[in-house]
Amino acid sequence: MSSDIPESEELAELRHRAEKRLTRLTTEVAGPGSAVQTQRLVHELQVHQIELEMQNEELRQSRAEVEAALERSTNLYDFAPVGYFTLSADGTVREVNLPGARLVSLERARLLGRRLRQFVSQDTRPIFDSWLNEIFTTQAKRICAVDLVREGLPPLAVEIEATLSADGKEGRAVVVDVTARKDLEKKLRQAQKMEVVGQLAGGVAHDFNNILAAMILKLEIWQMQHQLSAETRSSLTDLEELAKRAANLTRQLLLFSRQHAMHPEKLEVNTALTNLCRMFGRLPGQDITCVQLPSTQELWVEADAALLDQAVMSLCLNAKDAMPNGGTLTLEANLAEFTNQSAQTQPEARPGQFVCLRISDTGSGMDEDVLEHLFEPFFTTKGVGQGPGLGLASAHGIVHQHKGWMNVQSVVGHGTTFRLYLPLSEKKATTPAPTATAQIPSFKGKNETILLVEDEAALLFLTSQALTKFGYRILSATNGQDAIKLWEEHRDAIDLVLTDMRMPKGLSGLELAEKLWKSKPSLKVVIMSGYNMELARSSAPSSANYTFLAKPFELKTLAETVRHCLD
């Protein structure tokens, strides 16, 4: 490369002057003169020779620096993480780096001379044309978002930003692949939408729970009457079963919104999957083979066994419906570890060790439209009467309630894979020896006084009526403020407070209990709620003396809880 670099004008002038002086000195040496003059001329020649050698060394260093700069420029150009294009006014590609050629999956030589518009999708070509025209007419600097199509490959979402050259004849464009970012943004929007839907579902379920609790209590109170005919008693039993089915739907809504009470314990996942696979194999229906791929090591999680079984079974049943002509269902458990970097590949992931439950089927698969709404409550692709559409929504809520997350991959005609990630837990501790079973106390009251706080009027009346029948004295309030007034009047007589968790006028059941505990630390409290009590426990003092009662409840459960708390 050094032989191709021309001399600078300054260096050429120095060389010309040196040659002229050398000619003059040679002439002088050749003519008559003294030895002193000859010696002086020889010295001058030596000095000029040294100067020329120094100038040649500077030239060699300059050439080496130019070569190094050219190599760095080439590396930056061809190994940059973005595509660089030089475009003419009509969008013809005049220059492109290697990453730019890879964006359209074409060799650089074949891309040069072609118009970039050819690789822009039909839907986004008008956007590209308008942007290109604006770049060369108004010299506006703005970003253009389009999709690049590639033969045999999925399209790429890219952003293009360009500036004009000094002469205004070329546009130098930077093309950035933003496909992964777009996917993450889409998943984030979906997660935010699901969060809003979950809050709405939780609010609806709370009000519906109160109504169902009142209905179930009323039906049970009616059935306690001895003069009922067999037909009437049978009708009341049927109504009670319907109310309990409605309560189960409410429970699924609360699972979806992550507001249902949990009872976590240490579980070994491989064992749980073995039991579920065996259970699924006993289900009637199509010719489906259930295959379990157990891990080579024990994988422990801290989870509510019933809820986790429900989540996995909901996914298994969904897979069963997707394989009407038979197929294979695969259950697998593995250890998954995420670093700060790898956690960024999934919207809900975080660094740490997790147990990954994989549920795969060979069924019909789902398209993008179905996947977008998959976990929304009441969304279903099944026919009318084939389910309320809460199975997957409940599974989604259960996994998040266990501080995990769920991913789904599906291709139409090629099956579906669900992956459930749950935090890894330490191995289960040794189970202590069981203690002697305590004698079950009578559910009847002993004329104790209960402060009952409930904002739903019907449930307040029926709960008061039921507890009165059980032998308790009841003081009723519809909110926390009224309850405090009753407490100030009957503090010494009150033996227990039975309160709803969520109430109007800005005072929750737990906050009410904390106020009352200040004046009577030994006070027994029962908090009623359909919500996850972990929310309440997170702010409750460690010495909080309360019992949780899940809504809706039956008469027996109500009586047993109150009696157990008092005893």
Structure confidence at residue 497 (pLDDT): 93
- Read off the tokens for 61: 């260093």
pLDDT in tens, 97-155: 888 888 888 888 888 899 999 999 999 999 999 888 888 887 766 788 999 998 888 88
For the chain, the domains span 2-78, 83-177, 195-261+440-567, 265-423
On the 0-12 / 13-18 / 19+ scale of CB atoms within 10 A, 230 is exposed
For residue 120, list its beta bridge partners. Answer: 148
Helix ranges, 115-268 (H): 125-137, 179-223, 230-256
Short-list 551, 465, 567, CA closest to 206: 551
Structure confidence at residue 436 (pLDDT): 38
pLDDT in tens, 437-471: 333 345 787 889 999 998 888 888 888 888 998 88
* Averaged pLDDT score across all residues of the chain: 78
Q: Do residues 510 and 532 make contact, with C-beta atoms less than 8 angstroms apart?
A: no
- Read off the tokens for 394: 């409940």
Short-list 501, 498, 470, CA closest to 486: 498
301 SS3 class: strand
pLDDT of residue 339 exceeding 80: yes
Contacts 24+ apart (CB under 8 A), 275-279: 275/309, 276/309, 276/312, 276/313, 276/316, 276/331, 277/331, 279/313
Q: Do residues 455 and 504 make contact, with C-beta atoms less than 8 angstroms apart?
A: yes
Q: How far apart are CA 171 and CA 160, in angstroms?
A: 11
pLDDT of residue 420 exceeding 90: yes
Structure confidence at residue 438 (pLDDT): 34
Q: How far apart are CA 106 and CA 87, in angstroms?
A: 17
pLDDT in tens, 514-562: 889 888 888 899 988 776 544 445 455 544 568 888 778 888 888 888 9
Helix (H) or strand (E) holding 280: helix 269-281
Short-list 159, 157, 120, 158, CA closest to 142: 159
Q: How far apart are CA 23 and CA 253, in angstroms?
A: 103
Q: How far apart are CA 331 and CA 311, in angstroms?
A: 13
Short-list 420, 265, 394, 427, CA closest to 333: 420
Q: How far apart are CA 308 and CA 255, in angstroms?
A: 11
Structure confidence at residue 387 (pLDDT): 46
For residue 360, list its beta bridge partners. Answer: 330, 417
Short-list 315, 262, 246, 313, CA closest to 533: 262
pLDDT of residue 259 exceeding 60: no
Q: Do residues 316 and 276 make contact, with C-beta atoms less than 8 angstroms apart?
A: yes
On the 0-12 / 13-18 / 19+ scale of CB atoms within 10 A, 89 is middle
- As a three-state string, the secondary structure of 196-215 is HHHHHHHHHHHHHHHHHHHH
The span from the first CA to the last CA of the chain, in angstroms, equals 97
User: Would you give the distance in Å from CA 549 to the centre of its chain?
Assistant: 32
Structure confidence at residue 499 (pLDDT): 92
Return the higher-pLDDT residue of 276 and 70: 276
Most confident stretch, 44-53, 317-326, 480-489: 480-489
DSSP 177: E
Q: How confident is the model at residue 383 (pLDDT cuts 50, 70, 90)?
A: very low
Q: How confident is the model at residue 18 (pLDDT cuts 50, 70, 90)?
A: low
Percent of the chain whose predicted confidence (pLDDT) is above 90: 14
Q: How confident is the model at residue 287 (pLDDT cuts 50, 70, 90)?
A: confident
- Read off the tokens for 349: 């992931």
pLDDT of residue 179 exceeding 50: yes
Q: How far apart are CA 24 and CA 163, in angstroms?
A: 57
Q: In terms of CATH, what superfamily is 83-177?
A: PAS domain (3.30.450.20)
Q: How confident is the model at residue 472 (pLDDT cuts 50, 70, 90)?
A: very high
pLDDT of residue 67 exceeding 60: yes
**Which residue's entry shows tokens 């100067």?**
51
Residue 562 CB neighbour total at 10 angstroms: 25
Structure confidence at residue 216 (pLDDT): 81
pLDDT of residue 94 exceeding 50: yes
Structure confidence at residue 380 (pLDDT): 62
pLDDT in tens, 24-43: 666 655 555 556 676 776 77
467 SS3 class: helix
pLDDT of residue 430 exceeding 50: no
Short-list 53, 28, 31, CA closest to 42: 28
Q: Do domains 83-177 and 195-261+440-567 have the same CATH topology?
A: no
Mean pLDDT of 236-252: 72
Type of residue at 181: R
Structure confidence at residue 498 (pLDDT): 93
Q: Do residues 490 and 464 make contact, with C-beta atoms less than 8 angstroms apart?
A: no
Mean pLDDT of 3-18: 60
Q: In terms of CATH, what superfamily is 265-423?
A: Histidine kinase-like ATPase, C-terminal domain (3.30.565.10)
pTM of the predicted structure, to 2 decimals: 0.46
pLDDT of residue 2 exceeding 50: no
pLDDT in tens, 209-219: 778 778 888 88
User: Would you give the distance in Å from CA 4 to the centre of its chain?
Assistant: 58
Structure confidence at residue 505 (pLDDT): 74
Q: How far apart are CA 312 and CA 431, in angstroms?
A: 26
pLDDT in tens, 153-176: 888 899 998 888 878 888 888 899
Structure confidence at residue 433 (pLDDT): 42
pLDDT of residue 284 exceeding 60: no
On the 0-12 / 13-18 / 19+ scale of CB atoms within 10 A, 350 is middle
Spell out the residues 6+ positions from residue 221 whose beta carbon is closer than 8 angstroms to its own.
462, 465, 466, 469, 555
Structure confidence at residue 186 (pLDDT): 77
Q: How confident is the model at residue 68 (pLDDT cuts 50, 70, 90)?
A: low
Torsion angles phi and psi, residue 475, rounded to 5:
-110, 125
For residue 499, list its beta bridge partners. Answer: 453, 527
Domain 195-261+440-567 bears CATH identifier 3.40.50.2300: yes
Q: How far apart are CA 555 and CA 551, in angstroms?
A: 12
